Amino acid sequence: MDLIELTEAEFARFRDLVYRTCGIRVAENKRVLMSNRIRRRLRATGIDGYSRYYDFLRSPAGKAEMQPFLDVVTTNETYFFRDDAHYRWLADEFLPEMIREAGERRRPRSLRLWSAACSTGEEPYSIALKVAARRPDLAGWRLEVLGTDLSATALAAARAAAYDERALHRVGPEDRRAFFDEGPPGRWTVRPDVRSLATFRPHNLLDRMTGEPFDCVFLKNVLIYFDAASKQKVVDVVLAALAKGGRLVVGPTEGIHGMLGGLEKVKTWLYRKGG
Ligand SMILES: C[S@@+](CC[C@H](N)C(=O)[O-])C[C@H]1O[C@@H](n2cnc3c(N)ncnc32)[C@H](O)[C@@H]1O
């Protein structure tokens, strides 16, 4: 199959589809990149031509192709303890505060944390590692770290919980010994007692979040390619899911600071919901 690039019209249809599905605005100068990425799916499906592939994607028979399509056009880049300061705050300020407040009977002995757009799991497991390190103080607590993502492929990797050196480059030897099993060499699996803290499920950030509110939400490195309207939708979803007094940890590229006026700003990347 000797395919060249998407035409402008084809590119516009795919861009529109990506935007409507997950809120990402593919930049106009990304036509060659998109062509190359979609070409991989043409090869995999044996479909001859971008327009035919688009029609297939939109047809009932192509429903299952939506996931691999989104996987090639989104980025899953992540690693353990990305943004060191966020995890220092979690371990040294947030968890001690929760433990203290529960000791004074000012909050229930339960903690729900949400890693929104968790990709392959490094972020929720980084959170779970910090929670696991405080286990003696959290005995008898109801603990949950929820990881959600649009990508079922990424979530399958998260559930498998096996990582390479690149993902672990910020994890020190002590944490490796305490929270991971090594083997084969260079391959590390998160230990079952940490894994049991984390659950994973698919969720599109443009959709309402169901279930009990969260005490802390990590929303990082996902909104960079969202436009203002989609960012606002995501912000509304996340704020509705946050418990009173809950914290929101925002990544360096989200560009939503102007939309968080209803929250108290604690640090440049940390917000608190009043109440
Ligand atoms: C670069 S990763 C960020 C992972 C992690 N939060 C971090 O900071 O390392 C971005 C993730 O966002 C997911 N994503 C993109 N659009 C989404 C949407 N509308 N809803 C949920 N997840 C989405 C992608 O599948 C990808 O796994």
Whose C-alpha lies nearest to ligand 1, atom 27? 119
- pLDDT surpassing 80 at residue 3: no
Q: CATH code at 62?
A: 1.10.155.10
Of the chain, the percentage scoring pLDDT greater than 90 comes to 95
- Identify the pLDDT of residue 80: 98
Do residues 140 and 254 share a domain?
Answer: yes
Residue 265 C-alpha from the chain's centroid: 22
Q: Could you report the per-residue pLDDT of 181-206, keeping only the tens digit for each?
A: 998 899 999 999 999 999 999 999 99
Crossing angle for the helix pair 50-58 and 8-22, to the nearest 10 degrees? 30
pLDDT on residue 226: 95
Residue 1, pLDDT > 60, answer no
Tell whether ligand 1 has an atom less than 6 A from the beta carbon of residue 221. Answer: yes
Ligand 1 pocket residue status of 222, Cβ below 6 Å: yes
- Per the structure, the complete domain to which residue 20 belongs is given by 8-73
Residue 272's contacts (CB-CB under 8 Å, 6 or more residues apart) are 245, 246, 247, 248, 263, 264, 266
Check whether residue 65 and residue 106 sit in a common domain.
Answer: no
Instruction: Based on the fold, state whether residues 94 and 66 are members of the same structural domain.
Output: no
Do residues 94 and 190 share a domain? yes
CB-ligand 1 contact for 206 (6 Å cutoff)? yes
pLDDT score recorded for residue 89: 98
Boundary (domain end) residue, out of 52, 73, 94: 73
For residue 4, name the pLDDT band (cuts at 50, 70, 90). Answer: confident
State in Å: Cα 119 to ligand 1 middle: 5
pLDDT of residue 201: 97
Query: Is 222 contained in some domain?
Result: yes
Determine if ligand 1 sits within 6 Å of the CB of residue 150. yes
DSSP string for residues in the chain: ----PPPHHHHHHHHHHHHHHH-B---GGGHHHHHHHHHHHHHHHT--SHHHHHHHHHSGGGGGGHHHHHHHHS-----TTSSHHHHHHIIIIIHHHHHHHHHTTSS-SEEEEEEES-TTTHHHHHHHHHHHHTGGGGTT-EEEEEEEES-HHHHHHHHHTEEEHHHHTT--HHHHHHHEEE-STTEEEE-HHHHTTEEEEE--TTSPPPSS-EEEEEE-SSGGGB-HHHHHHHHHHHHHHEEEEEEEEE-TT---GGG-TTSEEEETTEEE---
pTM above 0.85, yes or no: yes
* 252 in Cβ contact with 83 (< 8 Å): yes
Site to probe by mutation for ligand 1, drawn from 74, 200, 225, 232 as the one with most ligand atoms within 8 Å of Cβ, is: 74
pLDDT at residue 2 tops 60: no
Same domain, 106 and 16: no
Read off the pLDDT of residues 112-132 as tens digits, 9 standing for 90 and up.
999 999 999 999 999 999 999
pLDDT value at position 275? 76
pLDDT tens, residue by residue, 84-105: 999 999 999 999 999 999 999 9
Q: Is the CB of 75 under 6 A from ligand 1?
A: yes
